[in-house]
Chains A and B, each alone.
Chain A
Amino acid sequence: MVTTPATATTIKPVIGYVHSIETFGSVDGPGIRYVAFLQGCRMRCEFCHNPDTWNIGTGDEVTSDEILDDAIRYRAFWGKQGGITCSGGESLLQIDFLIDLFTKAKAEGINTCLDTCGQPFTYKQPWFDKFKRLMAVTDVSLVDIKQIDTDRHKRLTGFNNETVLSMIQYMSENGHHMWIRHVLVPERTDYDENLKELGEYVSKLHNVDKVEVLPYHTMGVVKYETLGIDYPLKGIEPPTHDRVVNAENYLHVNDYQGYRQFPFS
């Protein structure tokens, strides 16, 4: 292969907008992970515990090299499974940055994990080609299904669920590994009929390595107060242990053990 000589015009590095860094992410994908929380999200999930990541275009400006150099300092903690996760906000809003970062990470032999709600997903070009390029350098994706019932989904998040389900369908059909996550919120998602339907939906998918029920918690309330935003779920308590077990049964979480084999290559 002939390499192109460097031209006088330097290529501008892709800029990412980062809300914060967590060096010790142990519930954000396989193993211990370096998590970059990217700034910006269009969804307004009522249970969101990071409303400070909503604004688009704010946050610290970083390059993928800066993130990678910083992340690599924690490599000794990652063991076989750990690596880098990009979360949010909605990470897919910064797909160019993700491609740049994950491509470089893979070149360093670091496994990559994408945490997304799928809202920006589209088959439109050029976005869809970018998504395919991203998937080629993503080892596993954490995908939230907030509500299987699209009306309730809309009430909960401000969007219907067709976009996220079409992304999941694409991942399922194209061999992309997923962890499906579902936040259990009393009076919003904790309905047997929805849980049952969700469980059936997930069971028909391929490449689902893990299914997790995440009990809603109220630790985000403080952030709403700080930001001066009304808390939408006032008065709603976290689900009881029994309801969590109930949801886990409907979602057959124990059937999904593929994550133990991670990483696959």
Chain B
Amino acid sequence: MKQMEKKATPSYWDGFVAGDWQNSINVRDFINKNLVQYNGDDTFLAGPTAATTTLNDEVLALKKKEREVGGVLDADNNVVSTVTSHKPGYIEKDLETIVGLQTDKPLKRAFMPFGGIRMAEDALEAYGFKVDPEQHKIFTEDRKTHNQGVFDVYTPDMRKARHYKIITGLPDAYARGRLIPDLPRIAIYGIDRLMKAKAHDFENIGDGELTNDVIQLREEVQEQYRALVEMKKMAESYGFDISRPAENAQEAIQWIYFGYLASVKTQNGAAMSVGRIDTTIEAYINRDLKRGTITEDQAQEFIDHLVMKLRMVRFIRTTEYNSLFSGDPIWATLSLGGSGMDGKHHITKTAFRFLKTLDNMGAAPEPNITLLWSDKLPEGFKRYATQVSINSSTIQYENDEMLKEQWGTDYYGIACCVSAQPIATGMQFFGARANLAKTILYTINGGVDEIGKAQVGPAYAPISSEYIDYDEFMKKLDPMMGWLADIYVNSLNAIHYMHDKYYYEAEQMALKDTNLDRTFATGISGFSHAVDSISAIKYGHVKVIRDESGLAVDFKADNDDYPRYGNNDDRADQIGVWLIQHFYEMMNKHHLYRGAKLSTSVLTITSNVVYGKNTGTTPNGRKAGEPFSPGANPAYGAEKNGALASLLSTAKLPYEFATDGISNTFGVTPNTLGHDDEARKDTLVNMVDGYMENEGMHLNINVFNRETLIDAQKHPEEYPTLTVRVSGYCVYFADLTKEQQDDVISRTYFETM
């Protein structure tokens, strides 16, 4: 890696406003200098071109076929997926303006054994494929995987906590994901320049003293450098030279997509984010439009084709994984809009163009469109976005002002469903969820799992009285939460150590700064049920019903009118605030891998169904096996004062501790929003504005009637593209399991009569 200072040919940058970005890798500066704001409405937008429609029809037909054959069309069983493992793949080469597939064929799934060979094999077998015996031998005998590394070091207690599902969804057998590559770097600088920057960084790691940290980082940067070389080769196989910066909009989008493609060829993370690319792309499109080299139709076509590719990304998963995260999600989260530290909004025509794809190619769950919402966004965009929400329920909204303040930068993106991450300078260690509703039961039952009937937690004295005494309960809850925090954080320490060692994300890290701020993500599930249970114990005089072995299996509150989370009632809501902060502080006492900063979350995706299934009856009246409410939503039926009271309860939860995200999924019938479209848009704009002003963090918005969902469950063929937002992502309703569909149907839909 020899340094050679040769600046990128300035002609690639002609027409752009000069700045620091020319002297160092600094996409944020490029964006700020070359921001093309747009304050108008959606009337400029172009419909789909003939090529777009033809291609999209083909992709939809493949998707239909995929569903018919049970979920997987085709899968590799002997080619280990790397950046360059596959020859170029196309839908229809001559029609595609943006090219590149994960494998050599559309929707064919890649073989990715580095997270864990057993997971890869089980996934193949779930769909009737068998792994190549040679590969089996390599990854069981010759080459260790992330999964094996983790299980080599797990303690018996960790295995138990995992087995009895008080901790769930740990990324110990697949990629942890949740990294946002700074993709615009490729377009603006070209790969060669990025390689030079990494070579320069490499020279400057450590002062000669080879400590573990220095050794680790030096090795990682070498891997990043190699990944960049591979990306060039991959692009070359498609006929493109990405060693240099992009010359025009089509190239810029293609270069960005190649970066993303390198990520999804090598990592099967639960979330494979796209990040924030709208303002960069706008700079290129705007330059081409000014030069007269493209039309609006073409600009839209590029965006449509990019989005089509993002919709085609697939991983092969085990049935167990699918029951946690249904509908084949990959969380290609695309953050749009937002505003700068200088207060300028970042709405461009390209933000509109991305939303327009839902119209041009129909609704789809991916990419996971996330609007970074600020009151500064122009009215025309706010109204267009809410229109898209009303039409297709495909958008989530996050609080830009709050996120900027928390993360100290305007160049952040959404890393998964909900979590924010500085794109250039930050990364996150993804950490699944600990079940706090179950912890309440462990407290009452002295560490015995109420489903598995085994001693899982520490054998503290159970509560033995007929009625639960609040003070006694709280005294016992504390050490039980402490135990959970300990075992949870240390499981994650093991996971991330091994992930860095055996499944390092060189392709994504190559597109970030070398020295990163790291966050250590954790999460809470069963939140509302834990809060309401504590409130029931405090205010409701709860009687315990025990089975013959003395295990608490049911509860009865003498006063069923106790305060519940979701009514903007501080008596309950402040229990929630305390719970988050207290659990955070307990986890924060522990060593955190690589000096990462602790964060937690209250979001559950579709896994609220499975978590609920594995949790016994809780003191708030939720029966054993019933789904948890998703994310930070109140328990079903707890809300008595309407939607805004419910939202304000969620908005009280302290984001400074739950910086990984506090998710609220809001369902509403169209008629509740207003009697006509204009009124509905007004209502949604005011609602989101109000929520953000009250420091609400995240909002999924679903607009439809329960009857529509019931009908879609009976006749899925009539609703192939009906999408719903679940906690933090979007999914085709038809791709959910029956149980998850039932859960979505039974959720609270605010309606007026």
Interface residues of A, Cβ cutoff 8 Å to B:
20-28, 31-32, 34, 49-50, 73-74, 76-79, 81-82, 212, 217, 219-220
Q: Are B753 and A217 in contact (CB under 8 A)?
A: yes
B3-11, B290-298, B675-683: which lies at the interface: B675-683
Check if B671 sits within 8 Å of A27, measured CB to CB.
yes
B753 touches A78 (CB 8 A): no
Distance, CA A34 to CA B685, complexed state (A): 17
B693 contact set on A, CB distance < 8 A: 76
Is B482 in contact with chain A by the CB < 8 A criterion?
A: no
Q: Are B642 and A76 in contact (CB under 8 A)?
A: no
Q: Which residues of A contact B641 (CB under 8 A)?
A: 20-23
- Check A77/B686 contact, CB under 8 A, given A24-B750, A25-B752, A217-B753: yes
Interface: B741 (CB within 8 A): no
B:678-722 near A, CB below 8 Å:
679, 682-683, 685-687, 689-691, 693-694
Chain B contact residues: helix, strand, loop or mixed: helix
B673 to chain A, nearest CB (A): 6
Q: How far is the CA of A58 from the CA of B753 in the complex (A)?
A: 22
**Contact B642–A21 (Cβ < 8 Å):** yes
Interface pair A22/B673, CB less than 8 Å apart: no
B752 touches A77 (CB 8 A): no
CA distance A24 to B752 in the complex (A): 9
Cα distance A219–B753 in the bound complex, in angstroms? 7
Contact pick for A27, options B644, B672, B685, B686, CB 8 Å:
B672
B645 at the interface (CB under 8 A from A): yes
Contact B642 A27 (CB under 8 A): no
Which listed residue (A20, A27, A28, A74) contacts B648, Cβ 8 A? A74
**Contacts known (A24-B642, A24-B643, A26-B679); A77 close to B689, Cβ less than 8 A:** yes
Q: Is the CB of A77 within 8 A of B642?
A: no
A31 pairs with B753, CB closer than 8 A: no
> Which residues between 110 and 154 of chain B lie within 8 Å of chain A, taking CB atoms?
none
Do A81 and B682 touch (CB < 8 A)? yes
Instruction: Return the chain A residue nearest B685 by Cβ.
Output: A79
Name 12 extra pairs, CB < 8 A, besides A23-B642, A32-B687: A21-B645, A22-B752, A24-B642, A26-B683, A27-B671, A27-B675, A32-B683, A76-B690, A77-B644, A78-B686, A78-B690, A219-B753
Beyond A49-B753, A73-B568, A212-B675, whether A24 also contacts B686 by CB under 8 A is no
Q: Are B673 and A26 closer than 8 Å at their CB atoms?
A: yes
Q: How far is the CB of B453 from chain A (nearest CB, A)?
A: 40
A82 to B750 Cα, complex, angstroms: 18
B674 and A26 within 8 A (CB): yes
Q: List 24 A-B contacts (CB under 8 A).
A: A20-B640, A22-B752, A23-B643, A23-B645, A25-B642, A26-B674, A26-B683, A27-B671, A27-B672, A27-B679, A27-B752, A28-B752, A31-B686, A32-B644, A76-B689, A76-B690, A76-B693, A77-B690, A77-B691, A78-B690, A79-B682, A79-B686, A82-B686, A219-B751
A8 to chain B, nearest CB (A): 34
With the chains together, A219 CA to B673 CA distance in Å?
17
Write the nearest CB–CB distance from A230 to chain B, whole angstroms.
Answer: 19
Residues in A with CB closer than 8 Å to B694 are 76
Complex Cα spacing A34 to B752, Å:
13
User: Is the interface on chain B under 10, 10 to 19, 20 to 34, or 35 or more residues?
Assistant: 20 to 34
Is B752 within 8 A of A79, CB to CB? no
Find chain A residues with CB under 8 A from B674 CB.
Answer: 26-27
Contacts of B645 in A (CB 8 A): 21, 23, 74
- Point out the residues of chain B lying under 8 angstroms from A219, CB to CB: 751, 753
Nearest B residue to A219 by beta-carbon distance? B753
Report yes or no: A32 in contact with B675, Cβ–Cβ below 8 A. no
Contact indicator B682/A22 (Cβ below 8 Å)? no
- Asked whether, in the complex, the Cβ of A31 is within 8 Å of the Cβ of B682, the reply is yes
Partner of A77, one of B640, B687, B751: B687
Chain A residues whose CB sits within 8 angstroms of the CB of B683 once the complex forms: 26, 31-32
Top 10 A-B residue pairs of the complex, sorted by shortest distance between their CB atoms: A77-B690, A23-B644, A24-B643, A79-B686, A23-B642, A76-B693, A76-B690, A26-B683, A22-B642, A24-B642
Q: Which residue of A lies closest to B645 (CB)?
A: A23
CA distance A50 to B640 in the complex (A): 16
Residues of B within 8 A of A217 (CB): 753
Q: Which of B320-334 contact A (CB under 8 A)?
A: none
- How far, in whole Å, are A204 and B14 apart by their CA atoms in the complex? 66
Q: Which of A50, A73, A77, A220 has the most CB of B within 10 A?
A: A77
Contact in complex: B642, A220 (CB < 8 Å): no
Within the complex, what minimum Cβ distance (angstroms) separates B373 from chain A?
Answer: 14
Contact (Cβ within 8 A) A32 B686: yes
| Closest Cβ–Cβ distance, residue B749 to chain A (whole Å) | 12
Report chain B residues within 8 Å CB of A34: 644
**Distance, CA A49 to CA B752, complexed state (A):** 11
Complex alpha-carbon distance, A49 and B690, angstroms? 30
> Which chain A residue has the least Cβ–Cβ distance from B679?
A26
Closest A residue, CB atoms, query B672: A26
Chain B residue with Cβ nearest A218: B753
> Chain B, 616-655, contact with A by CB distance < 8 Å: what is the 0/1 string?
0000000000000000000000001111110010000000
A49 and B645 CA atoms in complex are apart in Å by 23
* Complex contacts, A32 vs chain B, CB 8 Å: 644, 683, 686-687, 690
In the complex, what's the smallest C-beta–C-beta distance from B291 to chain A, in angstroms? 41
Which chain B positions have C-beta within 8 A of A28? 752
Cα–Cα distance between A116 and B29 once the two chains are bound (Å)? 58
B643: chain A residues at CB < 8 Å are 23-24
B644 CB, nearest partner CB in chain A, Å: 4
Whole-angstrom distance between the alpha carbons of A82 and B682 in the complex?
A: 10
A219 and B671 alpha carbons, distance in the complex (Å): 13
Nearest Cβ on chain A to B681's Cβ, whole angstroms: 11
Cα separation A132 to B674 with both chains bound (whole Å)? 30
Q: How far is the CA of A193 from the CA of B645 in the complex (A)?
A: 44
| B640 / chain A contacts, CB cutoff of 8 Å | 20
Give every chain A residue within 8 A of B568 (Cβ-Cβ). 23, 73
Residues of B within 8 A of A212 (CB): 675
- Taking CB as reference atom, which chain A residue is nearest B678? A260
The CA-CA distance from A32 to B687 in the complex, in Å, is 8
| Most-contacted residue by chain B among A21, A26, A73 (CB, 10 A) | A26
* Chain B residue with Cβ nearest A32: B686
Chain B residues lying within 8 Å of A27, measured Cβ to Cβ, are: 671-672, 674-675, 679, 752
Q: Residue of A at shortest CB range from B375?
A: A76
With a CB–CB cut-off of 8 A, which chain B residues contact A220? 753
Contact across chains for B673 and A79 when beta carbons are under 8 A apart: no
Question: Closest Cβ of chain B: how far from A78's Cβ, in Å?
Answer: 7
Cα A77 to Cα B686 in complex, Å, equals 5
Q: State whether A74 touches B682 (Cβ < 8 A).
A: no
CA distance A25 to B694 in the complex (A): 18
A57 smallest CB distance to B (angstroms)? 21
In angstroms, how far is the closest chain A Cβ from the Cβ of B694? Answer: 6
Complex CA–CA separation, A76 to B375 (angstroms): 11
Judge whether B690 and A74 touch: CB under 8 Å.
yes
* A74 and B672 form a contact (CB under 8 A): no
B677: min CB distance to chain A, Å: 13
- Cross-chain contact B644 with A74 (CB below 8 angstroms): yes
Contact with A along B141-184 (1 / 0, CB 8 A): 00000000000000000000000000000000000000000000
Complex: A79 Cα to B752 Cα, angstroms: 20
CB A159 to nearest CB in B, in angstroms, measures 22
Determine if B753 and A50 form an interchain contact, defined as CB atoms under 8 angstroms apart: yes
CA A122 to CA B693, docked complex, whole Å: 44
| Chain A residue at smallest Cβ distance from B680 | A26
CB-defined contacts of B687 to chain A, threshold 8 Å: 24, 32, 77
B671 CB to closest chain A CB (Å) equals 7
Q: Please indicate the chain B residues that have their CB under 8 angstroms from the CB of A74 in the complex.
A: 644-645, 648, 690
Contact check, B689 vs A79: say whether CB atoms are below 8 A apart.
yes
> What is the bound-complex CA distance between A78 and B683, given in angstroms?
9
